[in-house]
Structure 1
Amino acid sequence: MGELANCPRCNSIFIKGTAVICQACVKKEEQDFQTVYTFLRKKSNRTATVNEIEAKTGVSKKQIREFVKQKRLHPSQFPSLEYGCEKCGSPIQEGRICSSCSKELGKELEQVTRNEQFAGRIKEKEKIYRKTYYSVGND
């Protein structure tokens, strides 16, 4: 059973299930998608940028980029569509982050891995030292 929630877009109360927005906002989103898709289906509009689409259809840039992110609009069919990298905001056409941020994250991950390996070697050395027993003579 769904739980009662406020719609993040219009603040109306609805039962939250598979959708995270209310039914009225779902319908509005679908209408916006159909408007954008109908606009882009025309051969002359296929290379339109997000700004041009917003100006001609009235659908917000954020919503258009969300359609691309959700893979409802494919950049392979509409080459000028793009959305922002989740890390730096630079324009991308696929994935969640751009290639430069991906490389940066890869380097950071390698550094974390090296640090963990170093910490593991230190723990192994500490185990060896703990196994050594020293006796103190009573002379």
Structure 2
Amino acid sequence: MGELANCPKCNALFVQTQFRTVCDACYKLEEKKYEIVYQFLRKRENRKAMLHEVVEATEVDQELILKFIRQGRIQLSNFPNLGYPCEKCGKVIREERLCESCKKDIHKQLDQIEQEQLISERNRVQEGKTTYYSQSPKK
């Protein structure tokens, strides 16, 4: 079941679900814009269009086109030059949420944190040990 929310576009009250994030009126408007974008991309000569070219030709907001792509309504496999920005650095990608270099950077940071935790754990264990020295009676 959905929850009551305000539409982010027109501020109208509506029941928000997993699939609908805008009110009915804005949803219908988005559907019309989707049809415009889809009709543009279906033409053979437009299949190799880049994102900015689609925005210019259809006059549909870039964020809305990116929403269609993220929802899977526009399949990037059919459009070789279309992509969306990496959520960390903004580089154009075609799958997932992060580019390869950002993924590697995050993994590197996680490995570094893990190593620091191991070192601090080792130091804590060594602090708990007490070393006793004995004196030789031959002095």
State the TM-score, normalizing by the size of structure 1: 0.83
Matched letter for residue 65 of structure 2: I
Once the two structures are aligned, what percentage of the paired residues are identical? 44
Tell me whether 67-76 or 45-54 shows the greater mean CA deviation: 67-76
Residue 57 (structure 2) aligns with: 56
Aligned to 1:20: 21
SS, match of residue 26 in structure 1: helix
Comparing 83-92 with 10-19, greater Cα deviation is found at 10-19
What are the residue-to-residue correspondences of 1:75-114 with 2, within 5 Å?
A: 75-114=76-115
Which residue type is aligned with residue 107 of structure 1? K
Aligned residues: 131
Pairing 1:37–2:38 present: yes
User: Per the alignment, in what secondary structure is the counterpart of residue 76 of structure 1?
Assistant: helix
**3-state SS in 1 of match to 2:14:** strand
Give, in angstroms, the shift of residue 115 of structure 1: 0.7
Structure 1 ranges of 4+ moved more than 4 A: none
1:91 shift after superposition: 1.2
CA contact (8 A) 1:69 1:94 kept: no
Query: What is the rounded CA distance, in whole Å, between the counterparts of 2:2 and 2:68 in structure 1?
Result: 25
Q: What's the Cα RMSD here?
A: 1.9
The residue identity in structure 2 corresponding to 1:5 is A
Structure 1: 5+ residue stretches without partners: 134-139
Letter in 2 for 1:87: K
Match of residue 10 from structure 1: 10
Separation of aligned partners in 1, 2:77 and 2:125: 52
TM-score by structure 2 length? 0.83
Which amino acid in 2 is paired with 1:33?
Y
- Which 5+ residue runs of structure 2 have no aligned equivalent? 133-139
Residue 16 of structure 1 deviates from its aligned partner by 2.5
